[in-house]
Amino acid sequence: MKQTMNSERKLYTLCLLVEDVYGVLSQVSRLFSRKGYNIESIVSGATDKPGIVRISIELFSDGLMIEQIAAQCRKLLPVKAVKILDENSCIRREIALIKVRAEERSARDEIIQIVNIFRAKVIDVDRSCLTIWVFGSQEKHRALIDMLQDFGILEIAKTGTIAIERGRSTIYDDSKLKEEYEYGKNVL
């Protein structure tokens, strides 16, 4: 039977293993703009394999569109593997640095208490502000930022989300799908 595609829009994380070559990030990211999709966050970082970089991209999409973007990504020559992850199948984490106003001692104390509750850390302090480091899920960050709003947030820097599959399966796993993509790519 024909597949019925999920048309519900939700947050997906697309994880790619790519060769660290010239222009690879723009090659990947243009596929999103081509389909008129806005990237929520994009993170690129080294892996255990030299010369291979992992790119994690977060975006709101429906099932059909994410499949198509993934399909186009797999066709790019420097792309080694692509995995579509959603909240049921993966663990997502991000880091945020938050600079918050704290001119009085009482405010500082209160902020430190909140920070402890969230298992965040104060990593810098001076007489007028505190800088907080927090690691965790987006929801946790949102909640913390919401609490800190009362004191006055001066600046926020976020890493964007990285994600990894739950359980034993990895992005390196071979599949029939992966083999099929090798056909459309260059077969040398």
Q: Point out which residues bind another protein (CB under 8 A).
A: 1-3, 5, 19, 22-23, 26-27, 30, 34, 67-68, 71-72, 74-75, 77-80, 176-177, 180-188
What is the token pair recorded at 152? 């006055």
Beta-bridged to residue 82, according to DSSP, are 16
Based on CB atoms, which residue is closest to another protein, 168 or 183? 183
The DSSP secondary structure of 69-130, one letter per residue, reads: HHHHHHHSTTEEEEEEE-TTTEEEEEEEEEEEE--SHHHHHHHHHHHHHTT-EEEEE-SSEE
Residue 5 Cβ, how far from another protein at the closest point, in Å? 7
- Select 2 or 168, whichever has its Cβ closest to another protein: 2
Alpha-carbon span 66 to 89, nearest angstrom: 15
Shortest separation between residue 76's beta carbon and another protein, angstroms: 9
Q: Shortest gap between Cβ of 170 and another protein (angstroms)?
A: 18
Residue number, 150 or 182, with CB nearest to another protein: 182
Nearer to another protein, 62 or 110 (CB): 62
Least gap, CB of 22 to another protein (angstroms): 6
The residue with tokens 């090798």 is: 182
Question: Residue 17 or 96: which CB sits closer to another protein?
Answer: 17
Alpha carbon distance, N-terminus to C-terminus of the chain: 35
Give the shortest CB-169-to-another protein separation in angstroms.
Answer: 20
Q: How many Å apart are CA 1 and CA 95, to the nearest integer? A: 44
